[in-house]
Structure 1
Amino acid sequence: MLSMTAEYALRAVAYLASDTSIAFSADVLAKQTKVPRRYLTRVLQDLCAAGLVQSRPGPGGGYELIPRTDKLTILDVVNMVDPIERIKKCPLGLKSHKALCPLHAELDKAFAATEAAFAGVTIKQLVESSSPIKPLCEVKASK
């Protein structure tokens, strides 16, 4: 349902949110998020243009998250790079379909539910979850 661009943007934002006191290089972000560096650079440019991320050049520079993670939702990130396409009219262009047919109405309900679910989860909730599995981190097995 999500594009790779949206998935990669979420990975980058989640990693940046894991420590907002420092800037991360593109190399570190690519390694930690397992996103190809060239693709990640384009995603980071989109996030910078959207005002979610800023880049600092030079030694000690890198990328850092701008907004507060307690206000930023999964949906915000997705909408900045590749919004979920809702179905507002017949995708087939059938003139007799003044409303959505049952198929497209159900698909749009699923898209609406996805939007609502994503809008209800902040990035802070993701990175501060009580789950023993942390986003983008290998978990060491307990002995």
Structure 2
Amino acid sequence: MLSKTAEYALRAVACMGNSPDAPLSADALAGQTKVPRRYLTRVLQDLCACGIARSRPGPGGGYELARPTETLTMLDVVNSVAPVERITKCPLGLTTHKKLCPLHTELDRTYAAIEASLGGVTIEQLIDSSGPIVPLCEVD
């Protein structure tokens, strides 16, 4: 249900959240997230444009989060690059449908549940999960 761009943005944000003390180069982020560098650069530009990330030029520069991980949610990240599209009117343009039909009502409820789920998880919670698997890292 999420676009590839949204997943790539979440990978990049999780990676930056794991390295709060030092900016990461686009090459380092691409290597760790397994996202093609050219694509990742566009995603990073979107994250910077909406204030989730920032870039530091020059030696020792790179990308870092501009917002604290404890307030940044997965939904914030997704909405910055590929928002979940809610259904507010008949997608078929049927003028007699003054409200959503049962099909589109149920689809919109699904999208609402996705928004609620993503909005309920901060990047800090994602990174600090007590599970045995660390995001974006090989496990022994």
TM interval, short-chain normalised = over 0.9
1:58 CA drift (Å): 1.0
Identify the residue that residue 78 of structure 2 maps to in structure 1.
78
Identify the residue that residue 21 of structure 1 maps to in structure 2.
21
Unaligned runs of 5+ in 1: none
- How do 1:82-121 residues align onto structure 2 when only pairs under 5 Å count? 82-121=82-121
The residue identity in structure 2 corresponding to 1:131 is G
1:125 CA drift (Å): 0.2
1:33 CA drift (Å): 0.2
Identify the residue that residue 7 of structure 2 maps to in structure 1.
7
State the number of aligned residues.
140
Which contiguous aligned blocks of 4+ residues in structure 1 show a shift greater than 3 angstroms?
A: none
Q: 1:17-43 CA distances to partner (integer Å, 9 max, x unpaired)? A: 002110000000000000000000000
- How do 1:59-70 residues align onto structure 2 when only pairs under 5 Å count? 59-70=59-70
Unaligned runs of 5+ in 2: none
Q: Over aligned residues, Cα RMSD in angstroms?
A: 0.5
CA distance in 2, matches of 1:47, 1:118: 17
1:3 CA drift (Å): 0.7
CA distance in 2, matches of 1:16, 1:33: 10
Identity %: 69
CA distance in 2, matches of 1:14, 1:64: 11
The residue identity in structure 2 corresponding to 1:55 is S
CA distance in 1, matches of 2:95, 2:63: 48
Structure 1 residue matching 2:54: 3-state secondary structure: strand
Are residue 53 (structure 1) and residue 36 (structure 2) matched?
no
